[in-house]
Amino acid sequence: MRFTRQFAGRTWQSLSRAMAQLTSDSRGSQIAEFAISLPLIIVFVVGIYDFSQAFGLKQKLGNAAAEGARIASNQPTGDLTQPTPATVTAVARAVGAYLLSVGVNDCGLASSPPSPGKVNLKWTYSANTGCSSPLTLTIDRGFITTASLGNPYTTMKVENTQVTLSYPYTWMFGNVITLLSPGSTYARGTSQLQGTATMQNLN
């Protein structure tokens, strides 16, 4: 009987020690905290990556538009009466080639630019070869600005070329929200990022 009591007492002491160790161990709470904070960390990381990608793309679009405007400003204007002038097509190809050189899908501009729409001296390309949404390139060969000359002169009209490039960017943030909350109705958003450049016509 005495042995049974000693054994029961030792068993109880062992159980008490085990319970004390379990309640003092913080590993379980750390796992729970990590599980709660992980979705927030993912949202922050993907958000930072997403916005940095969009910012980088906008910079590339601005550079592509500047390259197109630089080339267009040196082109002759003798063929601008045609529906699709060769000089304007050359600008579209140059913009597409620049996009490809910086790792951006040109939607077919460099290889086979689509037929543009024309309004006065403004041509608009809408290319979507291999793109989820169309890329829009507008080349305005008759963009007029004014320059102030001071007395005794007033102002002078300057004829320029303005190149505007609008590109679809699909945000990854919507995919993360859907992954974290499968029942969410958060839509995948697409924004049109834009780059514009203007240069004076030299010919």
Could you give the C-alpha distances from 156 to 43, 142, 149, 198, in angstroms and in order? 53, 15, 7, 17
In DSSP terms, 90 is beta-bridged to none
Instruction: Give dist(CA 164, CA 18) in Å, integer.
Output: 71
Interatomic CA distance for residues 203 and 12, integer angstroms = 99
| Two structure tokens written together for 31 | 């796992």
Digits of tens for pLDDT over the chain (203 positions)?
A: 544 455 445 665 666 666 566 555 556 677 777 777 777 888 788 888 888 999 999 999 999 999 999 999 999 988 998 888 999 999 999 999 999 999 999 999 999 899 999 999 999 999 998 887 899 999 999 999 988 777 777 788 889 999 999 998 888 776 776 666 666 655 567 889 999 999 999 87
Tokens of 55: 């910012």
